[in-house]
Structure 1
Amino acid sequence: MHTGKTGLRTLGVAESFVGGGPSVLAGVVMRKDLLIDGIAYSEASVGGMDATDAVIALYESLGRRDINLIMLSGCVIAWYNIIEPARVSQATGCPVIVVTYEDSEGLEDDISTHFPDDTERLAAYRRLGERSAFTPGTGHTLYYRAEGIEHEAACQMIDALTLAGRVPEPLRVARLAARAVMRWRCLPK
């Protein structure tokens, strides 16, 4: 991947959920020069194990071959529904960068408490591996995992796509899109 190309396209994926229904995943295709080039939606079950398939389905629904990178806003979403970046990368042929915003000791204890007999979920969480800290030019530290892309290139992309604060633009816009759909769903009928 040539990280200097302005036409490089990132699919940013973020989610929103309110108890009682599925989680909404929004995907925003954004060029490196920050032009939005597409939007798609998918759903994942709250507390389920279908988030990886939901991200892959979102990507496939776009029917595009020009997406160069997938960026995820977290990989543990919708009440411990785990997105597996390696599976997403393998299924789509795109490198994956997962971004989170808080330092933590991890979620193993929480997963074991809420899902005591779910060895598959715990194994999926453990496969995620460690996160790396990075501070883009905005001066706000974030944490990331990279799959199918070198750490230096991942940091270059995060830096190029982060204009303010610590949320890269494709993820910021995807989060707004997911929340808008969730608010619309929650309107009185």
Structure 2
Amino acid sequence: MIRKVKKEIRVIGFDDGTFKFKARGDKVILVGVVMKGSLDVIGVVTRWITIDGLDVTDAIIDAVTSSRFKDLRVILLKGITYAGFNIVDVERVYKETGLPIIVVIRKKPDITSMELALKKHFNDYEMRIRLLKSAGTPIELIPGKLYYQAIGISREKAEEVIRITSRNALIPEALRLAHMIASAVMTGESTRE
């Protein structure tokens, strides 16, 4: 439990690399950037995940629990769908790492459209829809521009963590850097967040 959010709070932010939607079963890099607040990069972890697979949850848990970074306080996720519809089980990540999770989203997700796509393309759509809904309803932080979901942390503390860990963008710096690194690995150069 976080009693006070310090300026140098240690966070890890995860994002995946660019991929082709028709490449189901191929691998995509998952990058976690460890930061102290919004200024100091402490380290980077990587794992490979399957497009439209079910392995992102295990990859995040492994990256956090087996890394040398033992003083992490919060896990930041750039959404809960990675590599297409490889959906994070946020409850399991929270339970197995003991760390609160803040899911940061730039656009409010269209859950109805996502459910329809899951029903159309996946035999296990019921389980994936359950995972999708497990993070709860997104909370609007910046009207029309930034939303978040908080697991294991209060709204007030989650919003404070987002503010403290953001610097030159709307999203926390660890997520911005994870996006840039992951896209560079997959395409040869970084893309803007």
Q: After superposition, what is the alpha-carbon deviation per residue over 1:23-47, rounded to whole angstroms, capped at 9, x for unaligned?
A: 2110111001520111110111101
Quick one: percent identity of the two aligned structures?
Answer: 31
The correspondence of residues 62-101 of structure 1 with structure 2, limited to 5 A, is: 62-101=67-106
Residue of structure 2 equivalent to 1:18 = 19
Length-normalised TM-score, structure 1: 0.88
Residue of structure 1 equivalent to 2:7 = 6
Q: CA RMSD in A?
A: 2.0
The correspondence of residues 36-185 of structure 1 with structure 2, limited to 5 A, is: 36-106=41-111, 107-135=114-142, 141-184=145-188
Q: 1:129 to 1:6 in 2, by over 3 A?
A: closer
Deviates more, 1:120-129 or 1:38-47: 120-129
User: Partner amino acid for 1:68?
Assistant: R
Length-normalised TM-score, structure 2: 0.86
- RCO higher in 1 or 2 (8 Å CA, sep ≥ 6)? 2
Instruction: State whether residues 25 and 44 of structure 1, in contact with CA within 8 Å, keep that contact through their aligned partners in structure 2.
Output: yes
1:163 deviates by 2.1
Instruction: State whether residues 45 and 78 of structure 1, in contact with CA within 8 Å, keep that contact through their aligned partners in structure 2.
Output: yes
Distance in 2, matches of 1:27 and 1:117, equals 27
1:17 deviates by 3.4
Instruction: State whether residues 101 and 152 of structure 2, in contact with CA within 8 Å, keep that contact through their aligned partners in structure 1.
Output: yes
Distance in 2, matches of 1:117 and 1:45, equals 16
SS in 1 for 2:179: helix
Q: After superposition, what is the alpha-carbon deviation per residue over 1:141-168, rounded to whole angstroms, capped at 9, x for unaligned?
A: 3111101100100001111222233221
Q: How many pairs were matched up? A: 182
Distance in 2, matches of 1:84 and 1:55, equals 10
Long gaps (5+) in structure 1: 185-189
Q: 1:154 to 1:58 in 2, by over 3 A?
A: same
Deviates more, 1:103-112 or 1:67-76: 103-112
SS in 2 for 1:62: coil
Deviates more, 1:1-10 or 1:32-41: 1-10
